[in-house]
Structure 1
Amino acid sequence: MKKFFGTIVFMLLLGLILTACGGDGAAEPEDESSSTDSTSTESSETTEDSDPDCFMNVEDGATIIFSGWGDESEQQVYRDSIERFSEICPAVTVDYQPIPADYQTKLKASMAGGTAPDVFYVDDQLMTAFGPTGQLLALDDVMAEAGVSRDDFIPALLSIFTQEGTTYALPKDWGTLGLVYLPEVFAEAGIDEPTADWTWGDLQAAAEAIRDNTDKGGFCQNADWARFAPWAFGNGGAYASDDFSTALANSDEVKEAAEFVTGMYADGSIVTSADVGAGWCGEAIGKALVGMTYEGGWMVNFMRNEYPDVEWVAVELPAGPAGKADIIFTNGIGVNASTQYPQAAAAFTFFVTGAENQGEIVKTGFAYSTHPEQIDDVVDPNDAAIAQGGTFELTRVTNWGPNTGKVNDAISQALERVYLNDQTVDEAFDQANEEIQGFLDEAQ
């Protein structure tokens, strides 16, 4: 990847800080996991007071539980991260207990019951739930002790995890979407493969050709706020104003984008993953059930591990009427304020989100580093193509304030109502706008 890519992305992300967001574990593959077994990294030595080899003081004999979502490929990324941490801080035992399904629900229940893990993934919804209640450890003081600075990270990614100037989690990675497709399906349909110069019209025409000339679905897209976001943004829209005060879901820009997407669904050129018997659209690509979809860099590991014999290609998203747009996903890692071992938990958090470990994660193709100096280190060509979405002028980190999760859910539900023919686009997005305005007002 050319060196200027990193500079461009960093400057754009820096400019996004006032509109920054995060994502649902939606940015992650859905329900793909094959294992829920825990993995423990046993400490190899302890000292009377702390680990002399660790980069900061940690409690003697500390054992911490770490949880997150993700399929088997993501779980392996963090098993490897735990191994690296154990070499740096051998006196700390990390018991990895992934929660691949119903993560938010289960984590909230464990927090309420006093059994939550010491360290865990934090998305916008959990930040909203745990930040104001003091259930996340404020990290700034211990960051200063460990020599970790907010300036080490891409600024836009921190906004979700900051309340009233206090840092409650650190971004673990970020990603964008790309147009993922199967060359064999395009050959079967007798049409040219996608290019970086494509527009919405080109995608629509290709999806129709695949629908008409093959037994595959043309384009896979569920009723999902995240996959819809590049359409809305590419038409000049947004779900809410930049100051989080005004709902914009029923703006002409958003409704026009929704008419385009749901119109393709109505004519059969868009299908959902359920329509073709897949759990999510990435799996539909792996099983060669569709010709195209919008997915992220997680496809690199997923396809490598689950469908190694399937040839697939990614290019950047097509341009909408207002220009090229993409969505930036980010999630963080935070510390349970009730942990018995706050120093050890913080040390693990800092290591996993630190530049050394992030650099290793980038090599796997799982996600992009949250450290600006490493943005141009993406090596897989498909991953690099997907990452180009971070350079688009209309790309946004979707943060709409403390109730971001509810705002995004309202968009997904509006799309679902239209997909099901329960409402027109006007009706569904007028209802969503009213709901979103309530969420924004509630957060003021």
Structure 2
Amino acid sequence: MNRTARGVTIGAVAVGGLILTSCAGGAAPGDDGDVTITYSNFISAGGNEDNLTKIVEAFESENEGITVEVKTLPYADYFTALQTDLAGGTASDVFDIEFANYAAYQQSGVLAPLDDVDTGAYQASLVDAYATDGTSYALPSSFSNVVLFYNADLFDAAGLEYPTADWTWEDEQAAAEQLTDAGAGVWGDYQPISYHEYYKAVAQAGGEFLSDDGTAVGFTSPEGIAAAEWLIGKSGSTMPTAEQGAGTPDFDSGLFSSGKLAMWHSGIWMFGSLADADFSWDIAVEPGDQQHASALFSNAVGVSAGSKHTDAATAFAEFLTSSATTVETRLEAGWELPPIADQSELAAYLDITPPANRQAVFDSLENVALAPSIGDGQAEMQDIVTEELTEAAAGRKTVEQALADAEQRITPLLG
């Protein structure tokens, strides 16, 4: 799946106004003190159901008296069902969320605070993504991120040094210009002109996509303009235009896998499809302008604030996200990455090649650009930004006019 296209925000639901009732999933304790908790998820749908079963069985074995009932739904159906359950007070004790959903859920009061969890077990940037005023309201369950892929053979042929974590936009542009041979169908760079790349580029330029209080856009600033110019300036120079195929499904992955693309901004979920590529490739931390900022795609689990078994549910949420069983299962299955901080437990992942520099995956977490989240208007906001940037890339608007128009259209969506 091309998660760059999906991002972490498609499927965001409107949870404002949900009425939290005292009823929630999970049976009451029996006479013997045993409890049953429920877990609703989408993360295992489509091939990882058995892997989830392995984790659940290990938890039940280590926590005698707690039974976990699992409900798995496809991603396309999950959030609609969850919204219905939350509104009706029938939500599971533990349930999956995405980062883009987190703020709306937390503000609506459906997530229980997780005060007793040792969050030191997780990557710090992932913990921060699901915390409000210093309190965790969800635990990260997995992550993936975006890195800079590069074709080492093309770099070697051009006599250029490979990208490093110290690279800036200027370095990337200079290399892309030398590596581009449009006549031969070889391009130096590919970075989608879209909302998902733009908010990250704004952060890399040292700016803010939204104001601190979320009530105004910040991308019409000099930094926002620089970010848009960085993306749009590549089109037709170091990367193909829309007329040449850019933006069509799988065009970028096909271009890179065919050896016709020198650098590619994409996600680590593409490693598997490139394992048998007939050229040498590797990855690096994405270059920045004023600073590094990497896009993070993350899932998490929350505990229902209405659960009658909060302790048991919290114990399961912690086991599901950070236990040795979970880490081993995820790594063996290639089922996204566990969010743990102890990299020694991830040695098996780092040893898999290609790419040789898998350490860049974790180095990218040191400076993360979290996706802006505004609640009900999220999908519309994303579409507006992509539409306006596309207009600028096509030459129908200036960058400044496109961003001003985006601001005018988005402002009514903000709280």
Asked if these proteins are the same fold (TM beyond 0.5), I'd say yes
Q: Structure 1's 276 and 234: CA in aligned 2 closer, same or farther, altered over 3 A?
A: closer
The equivalent position to 2:287 in structure 1, one of 318, 336, 347, is 318
Q: Structure 1's 129 and 244: CA in aligned 2 closer, same or farther, altered over 3 A?
A: closer
Alignment pair present for 1:127 and 2:102: yes
Corresponding residue for residue 429 of structure 1: 403
Q: State the 1:100 CA deviation.
A: 4.3
Whichever residue aligns with residue 412 of structure 1, its letter is T
Corresponding residue for residue 390 of structure 2: 416
| TM-superposition CA deviations, 1:66-92 (whole Å, max 9, x none) | 22388x6xx54x742431331231574
Give runs of aligned pairs for residues 228-267 of structure 1, distance below 5 A: 228-267=198-237
Corresponding residue for residue 389 of structure 1: 364
Task: Tell me, yes or no, if the aligned pair for 1:79 and 1:96 is still in contact at 8 Å.
Answer: no
**Following the alignment from structure 2 to structure 1, what is the Cα–Cα distance between the partners of residues 185 and 168?**
24
Task: Tell me, yes or no, if the aligned pair for 2:155 and 2:162 is still in contact at 8 Å.
Answer: no
Deviates more, 1:198-207 or 1:291-300: 198-207
Q: State the 1:365 CA deviation.
A: 6.3
Q: State the 1:26 CA deviation.
A: 1.1
Deviates more, 1:255-264 or 1:366-375: 366-375
Q: Structure 1's 434 and 337: CA in aligned 2 closer, same or farther, altered over 3 A?
A: same
Task: Tell me, yes or no, if the aligned pair for 1:29 and 1:298 is still in contact at 8 Å.
Answer: no
Task: Tell me, yes or no, if the aligned pair for 1:239 and 1:248 is still in contact at 8 Å.
Answer: yes
Corresponding residue for residue 372 of structure 1: 341
Q: State the 1:422 CA deviation.
A: 4.5
Task: Tell me, yes or no, if the aligned pair for 1:234 and 1:325 is still in contact at 8 Å.
Answer: yes
| TM-superposition CA deviations, 1:28-68 (whole Å, max 9, x none) | 999xxxxxxxxxxxxxxxxx9499xxxxx8625x6644223
Q: State the 1:400 CA deviation.
A: 5.7
Q: Structure 1's 95 and 368: CA in aligned 2 closer, same or farther, altered over 3 A?
A: closer
Task: Tell me, yes or no, if the aligned pair for 2:9 and 2:378 is still in contact at 8 Å.
Answer: no
| TM-superposition CA deviations, 1:107-141 (whole Å, max 9, x none) | 5467668887664431243234433444x34153x
The equivalent position to 1:352 in structure 2, one of 317, 320, 330, is 320
Provide the aligned length of Structure 1 versus Structure 2: 380
Corresponding residue for residue 181 of structure 1: 150
**Following the alignment from structure 2 to structure 1, what is the Cα–Cα distance between the partners of residues 113 and 6?**
23
The equivalent position to 1:85 in structure 2, one of 56, 68, 71, is 56
The equivalent position to 2:35 in structure 1, one of 56, 59, 77, is 59
Q: State the 1:367 CA deviation.
A: 5.1
Alignment pair present for 1:275 and 2:246: yes
Corresponding residue for residue 301 of structure 2: 333
Corresponding residue for residue 26 of structure 2: none
Corresponding residue for residue 26 of structure 1: 7
Task: Tell me, yes or no, if the aligned pair for 2:208 and 2:219 is still in contact at 8 Å.
Answer: yes
Task: Tell me, yes or no, if the aligned pair for 2:9 and 2:98 is still in contact at 8 Å.
Answer: no
**Following the alignment from structure 2 to structure 1, what is the Cα–Cα distance between the partners of residues 240 and 191?**
6
Gaps of 5+ in 2: 12-28
Q: Structure 1's 64 and 106: CA in aligned 2 closer, same or farther, altered over 3 A?
A: closer
**Following the alignment from structure 1 to structure 2, what is the Cα–Cα distance between the partners of residues 434 and 346?**
43
**Following the alignment from structure 1 to structure 2, what is the Cα–Cα distance between the partners of residues 248 and 195?**
30
**Following the alignment from structure 1 to structure 2, what is the Cα–Cα distance between the partners of residues 195 and 323?**
16
**Following the alignment from structure 1 to structure 2, what is the Cα–Cα distance between the partners of residues 439 and 421?**
27
Corresponding residue for residue 140 of structure 2: 171
Q: State the 1:252 CA deviation.
A: 0.9
Q: Structure 1's 183 and 159: CA in aligned 2 closer, same or farther, altered over 3 A?
A: closer
The equivalent position to 1:214 in structure 2, one of 175, 184, 187, is 184
Q: State the 1:185 CA deviation.
A: 4.7
- The DSSP-based 3-state class of the residue aligned with 1:173 is strand
Gaps of 5+ in 1: 1-22, 31-47, 52-56
Task: Tell me, yes or no, if the aligned pair for 1:211 and 1:269 is still in contact at 8 Å.
Answer: no
TM-score by length of 2: 0.71
Deviates more, 1:98-107 or 1:118-127: 98-107
Q: State the 1:207 CA deviation.
A: 3.7
Q: State the 1:350 CA deviation.
A: 2.1
Task: Tell me, yes or no, if the aligned pair for 1:124 and 1:405 is still in contact at 8 Å.
Answer: no
Q: State the 1:299 CA deviation.
A: 3.0
**Following the alignment from structure 2 to structure 1, what is the Cα–Cα distance between the partners of residues 99 and 55?**
28
Task: Tell me, yes or no, if the aligned pair for 2:100 and 2:372 is still in contact at 8 Å.
Answer: no
**Following the alignment from structure 2 to structure 1, what is the Cα–Cα distance between the partners of residues 186 and 217?**
37
- The DSSP-based 3-state class of the residue aligned with 2:235 is helix
- The DSSP-based 3-state class of the residue aligned with 1:204 is helix
How large is the RMSD of aligned CA atoms in angstroms? Answer: 4.4
- The DSSP-based 3-state class of the residue aligned with 1:275 is coil
Give runs of aligned pairs for residues 80-159 of structure 1, distance below 5 A: 80-90=51-61, 92=67, 95=70, 97-101=72-76, 104=79, 108=83, 119-134=94-109, 136-140=110-114, 144=116, 148-159=117-128
Corresponding residue for residue 45 of structure 1: none
Corresponding residue for residue 16 of structure 1: none
**Following the alignment from structure 2 to structure 1, what is the Cα–Cα distance between the partners of residues 91 and 323?**
27
Whichever residue aligns with residue 35 of structure 2, its letter is E
- The DSSP-based 3-state class of the residue aligned with 1:264 is coil
- The DSSP-based 3-state class of the residue aligned with 1:382 is coil
Q: Structure 1's 328 and 106: CA in aligned 2 closer, same or farther, altered over 3 A?
A: same
Q: State the 1:318 CA deviation.
A: 2.4
**Following the alignment from structure 1 to structure 2, what is the Cα–Cα distance between the partners of residues 284 and 109?**
42
Q: State the 1:281 CA deviation.
A: 4.2
Alignment pair present for 1:292 and 2:266: no
**Following the alignment from structure 1 to structure 2, what is the Cα–Cα distance between the partners of residues 343 and 274?**
53
**Following the alignment from structure 2 to structure 1, what is the Cα–Cα distance between the partners of residues 34 and 159?**
60
**Following the alignment from structure 2 to structure 1, what is the Cα–Cα distance between the partners of residues 74 and 121?**
29
